[in-house]
Amino acid sequence: MVLFGGAWRQGSAFIGGGDVQLAREMYDSQRYTVEAIALNLGVSRPTIYKHLNQERETVGKVPP
Sign of the four-CA dihedral 29, 32, 33, 36: negative
pTM of the model: 0.66
pLDDT in tens, 7-64: 444 455 667 778 888 999 999 999 999 999 999 988 899 999 988 887 766 665 655 5
The full set of domains in the chain, from first to last, is 3-52 (1.10.10)
Contact 19, 41 (CB under 8 A): yes
